[in-house]
Structures are given as structure tokens and as C-alpha cells.
Amino acid sequence: MARMTAAEAAVHVMEKEGVTQLFGVPGAAINPFYAALKKRGTMKHILARHGEAIGHMAEGYTRAKAGNIGVGICTSGPAATDMLTGLYSAQADSTPILVITGQAPRARLFKEDFQAVDIEKIAAPLTKMAVTVREPALVPRVFQQAFHLMRSGRPGPVLIDLPMDVQLAEIEFDPDTYTPLEVYKPKASRAQIEKAIAMLNESERPLIVSGGGVINADASAQLVEFAEILGVPVIPTLMGWGTIPDDHPLQAGQVGIQCSNRYGNASLLASDFVLGIGNRWANRHTGTLDVYTKDRKFVHVDIEPTQIGRVFGPDYGIVSDAEYALNLFVEVAKEWKAAGKLKNRSAWAADCQKRKRTMLRKTDYGNVPIKPQRVYQEMNKFFGKDVRYVSTIGLSQIGAAQLLNVYKPRHWINAGQAGPLGWTISAALGVRAADPTSEIVAISGDFDFQFMIEELAVGAQFKLPYMHVVVNNSYLGLIRQGQIGVGDIDYCVQLSYDNINAPEVNGYGIDFMTVTEGLGCKGIRVSKPEEIIPAFEQARKLMAEFQVPVVVEIILERVTNLPMGPDIDKVNEFGGALDIEEAAEESQKKKAA
């Protein structure tokens, strides 16, 4: 046993739990914890510029690599409340992050002490556990429980609030014999897996829906193997994008009312059975449930018991970790195939692939100002299969999800459920901290980019280079498009103005290049389609030379309506769909070329 402060004991626990990277902003109420960190000297720390950014950096760090848990640290009061959006985003996307906040001394709690707020109660609905530790001896065990909870069942965030006197109090603790608690994950039975495969085998046109739980479980390889044994096409959700490569012959596209492909929606509507694994039936994926569920049966596999039946009642539900379930699915499917019990799905898979080849959207626009579809076309041409994309919300994210290609798990890192503006810069920095070598490309609209733009300075200070593509139409584009349905009001959504200091931005308002360079980064502005790929090439060179974020701002036409609608059978293409015969002919020409 050794005598140490409770803060030092907490740092020892984090070391034993595998933490090596921290994101934070120090302050008076958390300084004793920072003193313990400095004394140990075992962890890297990245200094954020805003409390909310800390949580999003931690999210990006967690999402980039299996087993990672991002840790954010801040002081009390407004710093802690700023962190709440990060907790909400992490909870909504089943992302384990640990947030540690400072707090007033115990004797000053509930006495209107400066910057003292009951963060325990405020954060409770946004976390798996939120606790103000009131006894110093409890600190190492609360941290132990936090890591156990974050990793067990459906992953999610935890907040630990530490009063100053608790951090400073001395306790007895033996770090040498500390052992993490065994992680709990529910496991499907063989009988359940056999029943699910039997139900699938009875259908004629089955699909597998692969959700973010497959990525959380690091089980994408098993998912692909299972699909290949059955010959059944796969629909990845937005959070599950990359679980099967976009160019795999069984990848059937994405489904939804916004982030979807024409062919993905068409194949779902043609199906008669859906096996969902690690997904939550989010409303942007399903649209109206009557349309989504009509004339098809559903089996749902999820790690969280209360997720099964939450959105709609499946025909059969299985509570299981995705990896364990998929290992059993593969095992049973192999046995059934060897016994000749599986149906031949080649005709159905060919139908899905025909839709994928022919039900496309137009991207080859030569317009000036640039149409957003052309941006994603150029990105597909330029970036390879190893690129990691980071995005959050808005028409920029929707266009990216409709038109980009993703080939690997954890290579589409997106705030799927909460979608907070400003997430993108911070998350991209967290991804870079976790992955120092991959090409990282963030995608933002101009409004998202304005939120927490100051975090670019973090990338400059800590040498965290990545490329940030900003598609600038100087509009709240998604909100404007949504206003079409409420009288086409176009109200309070325009961001354009004449910037007296930057006439070269032609009424688009903010001179993002000046702001970017003022923060210590590099910027390139693009106004013509043929300039896009040269800008990407230049950005790569600048990142390599200066080791800072590089912003590629692309000036778009002010108004573009992207495909979306109220239901998956009522998506308005706004004139951007390619006719089947035309698409097939274009595809053949490209192959011949």
C-alpha cells in the first residue's frame, strides 16, 4: 500500500485502464488533479479552447480506434456545463468518454460558491453514471467503476465530479495490484441464432442492416463473412458505414430520408426480411415506420435490452454483443451451407447490384459557382480507400453521405444522433491524436465551421494536421431547405453580408482564409470545379510541410436542394436523379474508358 492524494490514485487507475491521451482546460477547481498528472508525467495532454470541444475531441479519439476511451478534463461551473453537449453527443452515439470535472470544496457545496454547480444532477440524463465523489477513499473505486460501465453493455459516457478537498485528501491505495473489472457483454445463445437464420432462410429477398454497434464491437470482418456465406446484401446505417466496403458486391447502399442512396432505398422497399445487427432504427434511417416496415419481417440484434422494441416491435429480438452474435451467425451459417440448407440468393443480390449500378445521382456539374455534388465527385476521385472522413450535420453531411465512398470501419466518423454544430473541427483533432498517420478529411458547411472555429488553433499548437473541406454557400442550407415545407419562408437563415474588410469574398460574409491563417493554419479558396483537385494536392503539401490543419474553402452556389423527403418511398430528387438507361449507358462508357 502507498499513501497518496486521491487525485494521484485516480491517475494511477487511468494508467492501468490504458489511458495515454487527455483533452482539457485547467482551472482553479481542477488544478489539484493537474498537479497529480504532472507528478506522474505519463499522459499526453491537448489544451482545448472551449469546454464543449473537450468532449468532442474525446469522442473523435474514442471513435478512431477500437479500445480507445477519450478522457476530457475541465474545471467547475461554466466549464462543466459547456461539456454537456459532448456528453449528450457521446451518449446518443454509444461512445464511451470519461469527463472529469473540478468542484468546489465539500463544505461549500449548495452555498452559492463561485462557479459551483450541481453537475452531477445536470449530467445524469446524459451519461451512464454521473457522480460527485464526496469521500476521498472512494475515488479510485469510482474511477474503476467508470471504466467498467463505459465498456460494458451499450457503451457510453461517464462524468466524475471531484471537489477540491477530495482531490487533495490523502488515502491509502496500492496501484501495483490494481486490476480492471471484467467487462460485461450479453451473449446470444445458439438456439437464438439458429432461429434468426431459419427466419431469414424462409424469406425470398432478405437484407442485413449493419449498425454502429458492429463497429463498436470491432466485428466488421465477421459481418462481411456472414453476408458472404449467406449471399445476402447489406445495408449499412450512417453509423455503420464502412462495416462493409462500398465496392463490395453485397453492399446494397444506404437507406433513409436524407443520408441515403436511391438504390439503397429501392432495395429496402423491394425486400421482405431485414436482420438488423447493432442498429437502433433511427428515424433518419427509417422515415415513417408504416412505410419502412410494410410487408417485411424483422429480426433485431442489439447489446441493449431496452433498444429491442423501443422504436417498433420486431418479429424476433436477440440481446447480444454484435461480435459474439456474429461469431455464432458465421458458425451456424457455415454448418447450414455445408448441409445444403441455405437458399441461393444470387438472383436477389444481382437485382440489388443492378439498382446500385443504375439508380444514381448526377454529380458531373460544371457550374460556377460550384454545385456541391461536384465537390463530392472530386473527393471520390482524389482520396483513396484509406481516407478517414469526419463530419456532423447539415447539407454538407447529407451530400457527403449520399455521394462519398467509404471502404473501412472507423473511416466515416460522424455525429449521427445529436449532430451538434461545431463538432467537426474538435472531433477531427481527436481522430488525429489517435491516428498520427492516416489521411483525415473533415467536411463542414460554413455554419458548422463557424462554431468553435477557435479550435483550429489547437491543431496549430499541437501539430495536428488534417484537411478541412468547407463547402460555403453562406446559408443555413438544411434549415432553408426544411423551410420549403412550412411555406417556403426562407426566414432568418441567410449568412451572407458585404464584408467591408474582404470584398474578395463577394458578399459571402466571413473571410475564412484570414481567420484560418490568423489561427496559425493554412487556407486555400476554390471558386471553380477544375480548381478542386489541385487545391487538395496543395493542401497535402502544406500539411506535410507545416504540420497544421489546412482548410480548403469551396465557394458554392447559394441555393442547392439535395435529395430528401418524408419517407423512403417519397424522396424528392430535385432533378438530380440519373435515369436508369442513361446511368447504365454512362457506366458502360466509363468501364470502356
Average pLDDT in the 530-543 region?
Answer: 97
Res. 581: pLDDT tops 60: no
pLDDT computed for residue 109 by the predictor: 76
Nearest to residue 83, comparing CAs of 99, 95, 71, 69?
Answer: 99
**Position of cell 476521385?**
381
Q: Within 10 A of 496 (CB to CB), how many other CB atoms are there?
A: 16
Rounded Cα–Cα distance for residues 54 and 83 (Å): 7
| 571 within a domain of the structure (yes/no) | no
CA distance linking residue 370 with residue 556, whole number of Å: 5
Q: Is residue 572 part of a domain?
A: no
Segment 274-297 mean pLDDT: 95
Whether residue 369 is preceded by a cis peptide bond, meaning omega within 30 degrees of 0, is yes
pLDDT at res. 52: 94
- Tell me the percentage of the chain whose pLDDT exceeds 90: 86
Residue 473 has pLDDT above 60, yes or no: yes
pLDDT for the residue numbered 381: 95
Whether 243 shows a pLDDT value over 90: the answer reads yes
pLDDT tens for residues 78-95? 999 999 999 999 999 999
The range of the structural domain enclosing residue 380 comes to 372-562
Rounded to the nearest integer, the mean pLDDT of the chain is 94
Alpha-carbon span 497 to 506, nearest angstrom: 9
- Per-residue cell: 263: 438504390
Please check whether residues 384 and 341 belong to one and the same domain: no
Residue 590, class by beta-carbon neighbours within 10 Å (0-12 exposed, 13-18 middle, 19+ buried)?
exposed
CA distance 24 to 92: 22
- What residue type is assigned to position 365 of the chain? Y
* Residues 216, 152 share a domain: no
Q: Is residue 286, in this structure, part of any structural domain at all?
A: yes
| Residues 446, 380 share a domain | yes
> Is there a domain that residue 569 lies in?
no
Structural domain contains residue 364 = no
The confidence score (pLDDT) of residue 195 equals 97
pLDDT at 515 over 70: yes
Report percent pLDDT > 70 for the chain.
97
Question: What is the per-residue pLDDT for 593?
Answer: 61
What pLDDT, in 10s, does the model give residues 59-72? 999 999 999 999 99
C-alpha–C-alpha distance, residues 587 and 593, integer Å: 10
The pLDDT, as a whole number, for residue 591 is: 61
Tell me, yes or no, whether 305 and 256 share the same domain: yes
Cα(400)–Cα(489) distance, integer angstroms: 26
- 3-state SS of 443-475 is EEEHHHHHCCHHHHHHHHHCCCCCEEEEEECCE
Q: Angle between the 532-546 and 372-382 helix axes, to the nearest 10 degrees?
A: 60
206 and 151 in a common domain: no
In total, how many domains does the chain have?
Answer: 3
Residue 494, judged by CB atoms within 10 A of its CB (0-12, 13-18, 19+), counts as middle
Q: Are 64 and 138 members of one domain?
A: yes
213 and 283 housed in the same domain: yes
Q: Could you tell me which of 459, 470, 452, 450 has the C-alpha nearest to residue 391?
A: 470
Whether the pLDDT of residue 114 is over 90: the answer is no
Going 588 to 250 to 204 to 214, the CA torsion angle's sign is negative
Residues 380 and 514 in one domain: yes
Q: Look at residues 177, 205, 223 and tell me which one is the last residue of a structural domain.
A: 177
Q: What is the CATH classification number for the domain harbouring 74?
A: 3.40.50.970
pLDDT, tens digit (0-9, with 9 covering 90-100), for 123-151: 999 999 999 999 999 999 999 999 999 99
Which residues lie closer than 8 Å to 558 by C-beta, 6 or more apart? 369, 473, 474, 475, 496
Kind of pairing between the strands at 97-103 and 158-163: parallel
Shared-domain flag, residues 347 and 268:
yes
Q: What is the SS3 assignment for 413?
A: strand
The predicted structure's pLDDT at residue 587? 60
Are 166 and 194 part of one and the same domain?
A: no
Among the ranges given (154-168, 194-208, 476-490), the one the predictor scored with the smallest mean pLDDT: 476-490
Backbone dihedral region for residue 487 (phi beyond 0: left; psi -120 to 50: alpha; all else: beta): left
**What grid cell was written down for 188?**
446470444
**8 A C-beta contact, residue 277 and residue 250:** no
pLDDT at 502 over 90: no
Quick one: average pLDDT of 402-406? 96
Same domain, 489 and 408: yes
pLDDT confidence of residue 110: 81
Of 323, 358, 393, the last residue of a domain is 358
Least confident of 107-111, 135-139, 274-278, 376-380: 107-111
Mean pLDDT of 479-504: 87
Average pLDDT over residues 460-474: 97
Q: Which three cell numbers stand for residue 305?
A: 435490452
Q: Are 61 and 68 in contact (CB under 8 A)?
A: yes
* Residue where a domain stops, chosen among 177, 200, 235: 177
Regarding whether 253 and 171 lie in a shared domain, the answer is no
CATH number at residue 297: 3.40.50.1220
pLDDT in tens, 330-345: 999 999 999 999 999 9
**Contacts (Cβ under 8 Å, ≥6 apart) of 456:** 425, 516, 519, 520, 521, 549, 551
**pLDDT of 319:** 98
The CA distance from 453 to 421, in Å, is 11
